[in-house]
């Protein structure tokens, strides 16, 4: 049987591919478990300094697997499923001390869209589409969508996306700020991997600390956030990469960052 998630390392970049193309990479238990494990593996491997997440076939992910026997049954406790399978994954992505590039190669629906949005830089293929599919089947946006959407696109758009559940084209997603950049379909993965390779050669400890500051930002008042910046900058100021960055600047040479 094919692995539900492929994990491949090239140089300092791990590429994680959702791999159930026959069902548009719908999220079942096996895929979610493997995805959580892949994120953990990328975190534990010191040689990996940036991660790309993408989908096999024509979709990124169609969200929760609605084909499993008990889908739609009132017997299933969706809250428990979210807590056990989705929340640890979304939190692990946000807490990963390495940048994650989401390469949305096709439709990202429901919790599949939430996973895409949990990346640090979201790229999309021109033919990709985004769909808050949840309310279409009588559910609410989950796996972080109600957190990410207002923060990325503002209240009005977040509410309209969640309530209308209309498919949004990649160009529209880019215009709204859901996506950093849209690439021609065939250029998406090479671009994402090239970007991740560049990120992996930069001061990745600083990215880890910047992620922590940004994760906390919108929940903090200014004074608290300034204090957090000071604490994290103190840590950044003690890295080898900071010393190298300044030394290289002064010597007018290219810096060599080690992620330490």
* Contact residues: ligand LHQ, CB under 6 A: 23-24, 26, 62-67, 78, 81-82, 86, 107, 109-111, 131, 133-134, 136-137, 139, 142
Q: Select 67 or 177, whichever has its Cβ closest to ligand LHQ.
A: 67
Q: Select 64 or 192, whichever has its Cβ closest to ligand LHQ.
A: 64
Q: Select 4 or 110, whichever has its Cβ closest to ligand LHQ.
A: 110
CB of 46 to ligand LHQ, least distance (A): 33
Q: Using CB atoms, what's the residue nearest to ligand LHQ?
A: 110
CB of 20 to ligand LHQ, least distance (A): 9
CB of 152 to ligand LHQ, least distance (A): 18
Q: Which residues pair with 18 in a beta bridge?
A: 5, 55
Q: Select 26 or 200, whichever has its Cβ closest to ligand LHQ.
A: 26
Are 129 and 108 within 8 A, CB to CB? yes
Of 60, 39, 61, 15, nearest in space to 195 by CA: 15
CB of 213 to ligand LHQ, least distance (A): 29
CB of 83 to ligand LHQ, least distance (A): 10
């Amino acid at each position: 049987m094919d692995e539900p998630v492929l994990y491949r390392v090239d140089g300092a970049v791990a590429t994680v591919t959702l791999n159930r193309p026959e069902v548009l990479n719908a999220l079942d238990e096996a895929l979610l478990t493997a995805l959580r494990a892949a994120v953990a593996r990328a975190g534990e491997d010191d040689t990996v300094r940036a991660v790309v997440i993408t989908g096999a076939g024509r979709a990124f992910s169609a969200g929760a697997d609605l084909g499993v026997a008990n889908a739609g049954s009132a017997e299933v406790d969706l809250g428990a499923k979210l807590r056990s399978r989705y929340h640890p994954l979304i939190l692990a992505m946000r807490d990963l001390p390495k940048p994650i590039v989401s390469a949305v190669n096709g439709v990202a629906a429901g919790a599949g869209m939430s996973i895409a949005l949990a990346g640090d830089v979201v790229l999309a293929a021109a033919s990709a589409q985004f769909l808050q599919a949840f309310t279409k089947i009588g559910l609410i946006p989950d796996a972080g969508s109600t957190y990410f959407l207002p923060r990325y696109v503002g209240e009005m758009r977040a509410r309209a996306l969640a309530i209308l559940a209309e498919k949004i084209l990649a160009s529209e997603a880019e215009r709204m700020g859901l996506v950093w950049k849209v690439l021609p379909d065939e250029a998406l993965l090479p671009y994402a991997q090239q970007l991740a390779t560049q990120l992996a050669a930069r001061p990745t400890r600083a990215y880890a600390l910047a992620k922590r500051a940004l994760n906390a930002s919108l929940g903090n008042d200014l004074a608290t956030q300034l204090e957090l910046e000071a604490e994290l900058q103190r840590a950044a100021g003690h890295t080898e990469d900071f010393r190298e960055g300044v030394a290289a600047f002064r010597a007018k040479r290219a810096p060599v960052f080690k992620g330490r």
